[in-house]
Amino acid sequence: MNQTCELPALPHAPIPAASLDPPPPAAAREAVAVLAGGCFWCVEAVFRELEGVLGVRAGYCGGSTDSASYEAVCSGTTDHAEAIEIRHDPQRIRFAQLLRVFFAVAHDPTQRDGQGNDRGRQYRSAIFCADATQHQIARSYIDQLDAAGVFAAPIATELLPLRRFHPAEACHQDYAARHPQQPYIALVAAPKVAKLQAQFGSWLKPGAARGVRA
């Protein structure tokens, strides 16, 4: 990650809720969403704060090889993206709500193949859809936001099938919480968490957003 990475131009107000947001099956108690939005340290820092999120792992997804490592992905030769795997209780927070946070505060979805000064396919914006329902919800929401002109440019987020998620090395897990004073975390992750608090305060876990401070 580039230590001088600039903050993306995010919306100044909460974006609208997704028009397509079907209720989950009554028996569903755990689901998975895999999202890529630049540096996985910073995206993970946002989603770990949300009520209903059971766990978040940093990793790599969408590449052309059967294995992935930080060194290989950063080389740009595997086409993997830095991504996060979100395990969540869909009765408490639904996929469409996770996407609302993803587009509103986690990253700038109008940037193609990068975020700020972090450039390359490994930093692209992508939603890795586990099934047809996730794809339908994501496609509908992107079309809704583009039609409403929420962002100054069209959304560049790719919709891709979820095939395999490779967990990142242990040193990358919960990185922002463990290194709140690291310059990149203070510059990029902490302001995103602050935006989450301001825009989605009622969605946070009790006592959340205390571990990442500028």
Specify the pTM. Answer: 0.92
* 31-203 CATH pick, 3.40.50.150, 3.30.590.10, 3.40.50.10470, 3.30.1060.10: 3.30.1060.10
- For 95, the token pair is 């996929």
Q: What is the pLDDT of residues 137-179, one digit of tens each?
A: 999 999 999 999 999 999 999 999 999 999 999 999 999 999 9
Q: What pLDDT does residue 117 have?
A: 86
Q: What pLDDT does residue 99 have?
A: 98
DSSP conformation class of 102: I
> Distance between CA 184 and CA 212 in Å, rounded?
11
> Distance between CA 177 and CA 161 in Å, rounded?
30
Annotated active-site positions, please? 39
Q: What pLDDT does residue 212 have?
A: 57
214 residues of the chain, pLDDT tens digit each? 654 444 445 565 569 999 999 999 999 999 999 999 999 999 999 999 999 999 999 999 999 888 999 999 998 889 999 999 999 999 999 999 999 999 999 999 999 999 988 999 999 999 999 999 999 999 999 999 999 999 999 999 999 999 999 999 999 999 999 999 999 999 999 999 999 999 999 999 987 655 554 4
Residues 6+ apart with CB under 8 A from 43: 35, 36, 37, 84, 106, 107
Contact by Cβ (8 Å): 50, 204: yes
Domain locations along the chain: 31-203
- For 166, the token pair is 């490779």
